[in-house]
């Protein structure tokens, strides 16, 4: 395991003394490790993964060996026992090499691994972490075709039947559904209670009779990830697979979406950084009107604006991650980070294309992939308009206190 060669991580009390401008040494080592992995293992194949919609099984296995597929999971369950800040750095650097791989690592860690580790009973963690290897993907099935941002409107039902639960319904937009062997599914135990009737359930996909995975959506970006419906036709699971309480699923979903938004924002940062680096590299080689594009004021202005937005977004993302690690109420910070980082990714990718001109529009160059991958960071985990609403509601409430 990679973590065995690191200095032992101090208790999370170090976060109290964290300087947003200087990462602790152990996090710098993790950041550099992921940066090197992205350059060596991801950048050379990112275009092929995207073009063929190929899931990066080999790379995910290597990341698991490095301890990066159970980042925030306790060591007792095969995890690395690290912080959300560490996970943010990992996702950012991997996304700089391949947006799809960053997305896979982010969603698996932020939504499945972290939630099971935080809320699961000892028996649940021993069963679901113990049965499968660290490279096994876990899914998170919350959204439905008519219940995306409006989580309380979900219609998948869970009915008690003796010592079992029976689940029936269809979940939508489930990332890595085609590769997952287990997952967390949200369903309502009482529709009349709306959000108070929602519960979360652990499902072993290999033993779930009546569970089928729909077709992989043909997406604009992050094409090396699978995005499928998850169909549950009276799937029977043990009553012990209830995660948390009967009526606590909505709260769990909202808490986990905060963490997911940090992961998505980190993915956006990686894509934006890759776009900035590609723009500078191209502009340095391209001669127009007798001089390098890097000498032209218009190009320098674009690069400066990209760099400032990326750095501003990075500070927001790290602030949100640290607040989560401190156990603070971080919903506003997570929404801010996701909103601004997502827009920054699209902005950086757009300006990379503008600097590269026609070469930014062809598939032989990575700029067009950056643009396609960037767009999802403004959509999943709650579209930008939802993030603005969350920020506004929190700011208004704080002003009234």
Q: What is the pLDDT of residues 282-304, one digit of tens each?
A: 999 998 888 899 999 999 999 99
138-249 CATH fold: Butyryl-CoA Dehydrogenase, subunit A; domain 2 (2.40.110)
Name beta bridge partners: 171: 230
List, for residues 103-120, the tens digit of each pLDDT value: 999 999 999 999 999 999
Q: What is the pLDDT of residue 214?
A: 97
Q: 73 vs 18, 32, 56, 79, 318, CA distance in Å?
A: 22, 21, 22, 4, 20
CB 7 within 8 A of CB 26: yes
Helix, strand, coil content of the chain in percent (nearest 5)? 60, 15, 25
Structural element, H or E, at residue 160: strand 157-161
CA–CA separation, 285 vs 399, rounded Å? 51
Query: Confidence class of residue 35 from pLDDT cuts 50, 70 and 90?
Result: very high
CB 344 within 8 A of CB 309: yes
Coil vs helix vs strand at 203 = strand
Both tokens of 284, joined, read 């340095």
* CATH code for the structural domain at 251-400: 1.20.140.10
Structural element, H or E, at residue 394: helix 384-400
Torsion, Cα of 73, 82, 140, 226 (10° steps): -120
Coil vs helix vs strand at 186 = strand
Tell me which residue of 205, 209, 231 sits closest to 128, measured CA to CA.
205
CA–CA separation, 44 vs 63, rounded Å? 16
Q: What is the pLDDT of residue 290?
A: 86
Tell me which residue of 122, 114, 86, 65 sits closest to 10, measured CA to CA.
86
Residue 68 burial (CB count, 10 A)? 26
CB 187 within 8 A of CB 156: yes
Domain ranges across the chain: 2-131, 138-249, 251-400
In CATH, what class is 2-131? mainly alpha
Structural element, H or E, at residue 242: strand 242-243
List, for residues 190-225, the tens digit of each pLDDT value: 988 989 999 999 999 999 999 999 999 999 999 999
Tell me 40's DSSP state. I
The full DSSP string for 74-133 is -GGGT-----HHHHHHHHHHHHHH-HHHHHHHHHIIIIIIHHHHHH--HHHHHHHHHHS-
CB 324 within 8 A of CB 262: yes
pLDDT tops 80 at residue 15: no
Mean pLDDT is lowest, of 18-27, 302-311, 357-366, for 18-27
CB 189 within 8 A of CB 197: yes
Q: What is the pLDDT of residue 246?
A: 85
Tell me 216's DSSP state. P
Q: What is the pLDDT of residue 146?
A: 84
Mean pLDDT is lowest, of 14-23, 309-318, 334-343, for 14-23
Both tokens of 106, joined, read 């982010």
Tell me which residue of 246, 258, 274 sits closest to 372, measured CA to CA.
274
Query: Confidence class of residue 150 from pLDDT cuts 50, 70 and 90?
Result: confident
CB 89 within 8 A of CB 26: no
Same fold, 2-131 and 251-400: no
Residues 6+ apart with CB under 8 A from 162: none
Average pLDDT over residues 231-247: 95
Distance from chain centroid for Cα 304: 27
Q: What is the mean pLDDT of the chain?
A: 93
């Amino acid at each position: 395991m990679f973590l065995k060669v690191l200095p032992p991580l101090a208790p999370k009390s170090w976060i109290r003394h964290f300087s947003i401008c200087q990462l602790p040494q152990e996090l710098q080592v993790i950041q550099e490790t992921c940066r090197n992995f992205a350059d060596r293992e991801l950048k050379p194949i990112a275009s092929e993964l995207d073009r063929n919609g190929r899931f990066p099984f080999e790379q995910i296995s290597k990341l698991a060996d490095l301890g990066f597929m159970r980042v925030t999971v306790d060591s007792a369950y095969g995890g690395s026992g690290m912080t959300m800040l560490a996970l943010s750095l990992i996702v950012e650097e991997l996304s700089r090499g391949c947006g799809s791989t960053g997305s896979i690592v982010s969603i698996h860690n932020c939504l499945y691994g972290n939630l099971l580790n935080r809320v699961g009973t000892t028996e649940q963690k021993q069963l679901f972490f113990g049965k499968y290897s660290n490279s096994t993907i876990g899914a998170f099935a919350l959204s439905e075709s008519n219940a995306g941002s409006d989580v309380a409107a979900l219609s998948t039902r869970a009915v008690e039947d003796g010592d079992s639960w029976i689940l029936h319904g269809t979940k939508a937009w489930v990332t890595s559904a085609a590769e997952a062997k287990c997952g967390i599914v949200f369903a309502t135990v009482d529709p009349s209670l709306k959000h108070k009737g929602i519960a979360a359930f652990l499902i072993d996909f290999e033993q779930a009779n009546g569970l089928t995975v729909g077709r992989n959506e043909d997406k604009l970006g992050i094409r090396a990830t699978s995005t499928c419906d998850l169909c549950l036709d009276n799937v029977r699971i043990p009553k012990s697979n209830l995660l948390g309480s009967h009526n606590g699923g909505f709260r769990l979903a909202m808490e986990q979406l905060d963490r997911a938004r940090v992961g998505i924002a980190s993915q956006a940062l990686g894509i934006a950084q890759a776009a900035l680096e590609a723009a500078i590299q191209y502009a340095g080689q391209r001669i127009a009107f007798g001089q390098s594009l890097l000498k032209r004021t218009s190009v320098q202005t674009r690069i400066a604006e990209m760099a400032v937005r990326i750095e501003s977004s990075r500070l927001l993302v790290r602030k949100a991650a640290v607040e989560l690690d401190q156990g603070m109420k971080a919903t506003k910070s997570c929404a801010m980070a996701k909103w601004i980082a997502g827009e920054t990714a699209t902005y950086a990718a757009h300006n990379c294309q503008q600097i590269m001109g026609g070469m930014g529009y062809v598939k032989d160059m990575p700029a067009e992939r950056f643009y396609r991958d960037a767009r999802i960071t403004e959509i999943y985990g709650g579209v930008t308009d939802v993030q603005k609403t969350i920020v506004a509601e929190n700011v208004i409430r704080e002003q009234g206190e």
